[in-house]
Amino acid sequence: MMDEPWWEGRVASDVHCTLREKELKLPTFRAHSPLLKSRRFFVDILTLLSSHCQLCPAARHLAVYLLDHFMDRYNVTTSKQLYTVAVSCLLLASKFEDREDHVPKLEQINSTRILSSQNFTLTKKELLSTELLLLEAFSWNLCLPTPAHFLDYYLLASVSQKDHHCHTWPTSCPRKTKECLKEYAHYFLEVTLQDHIFYKFQPSVVAAACVGASRICLQLSPYWTRDLQRISSYSLEHLSTCIEILLVPLFR
């Protein structure tokens, strides 16, 4: 891993372009798995485990991506098999995206209340063989862009000195506004894990929509700035459908 986040480096624009090219090659999510009704439960497990191990958002989102697309292609028949696949997805994603000292240990995993409540433990052999199966299923390519890979880059342009609140003109403290907007954006980023509907959009669209939805919640005007359009290459009209889906739970 690089010491400096890629979105803060001199080659940030080039990395962003490469990610945009890679996302165009991602396979279509068909939602064909007979276990799709169990998806929310296992996504919650991955979210809890990743929080327990303090994994970065990119690792968490990659783990869910691997789980979804593996379930979409292969028939997993028992609950223990699905648990094993889910945990193996998290292990692979953390090894690929996070620091080595953040990669969950077997003892950590088996000691969590989530697994102990199911009355079974995972073995090192089971996890290693499943990790190998996953790597072969994805042709040993884990460089798979998710919304988490784009969000921090778009957040660089999320707040401007020219922004206005609907009730305060102009925004008095851009730094505090940016901190608040970042919290909103990461909240929406986690919301996208809960429903496979977001696979209808490219990951960069989802990330940009998280920023747009956050600006709407903070009543920042305009909702989408020229800087955001420049950095993302998306207009507000391009993001509107995804933003609407993100905001629906807030207005129920």
Q: What is the CA radius of gyration of the chain?
A: 19
> Do 45 and 64 touch, CB atoms closer than 8 A?
no
3-state secondary structure of 239: helix
- Among 115-119, 157-161, 242-246, name the one with the lowest average pLDDT: 115-119
Residue ranges matching CATH 1.10.472.10 in the chain: 28-138, 147-250
Structurally, at CATH architecture level, domain 147-250 sits in Orthogonal Bundle (1.10)
Q: What is the dihedral of CA 88, 94, 95, 99, to 10 degrees?
A: -150
Give the predicted TM-score (pTM) of the model.
0.91
In this prediction, residue 24 carries a pLDDT of 96
Residue pair 250/197 in contact (Cβ under 8 Å)? The answer is: no
Higher pLDDT, 205 or 162: 205
Least confident of 81-95, 149-163, 235-249: 149-163
CATH assignment of 28-138, among 1.10.3720.10, 3.30.70.100, 1.10.472.10, 1.10.8.590: 1.10.472.10
Share above pLDDT 90 across residues of the chain, in percent, rounded to a whole number: 63
What does the alpha-carbon distance between residue 238 and residue 207 come to, in Å, rounded to a whole number? 13
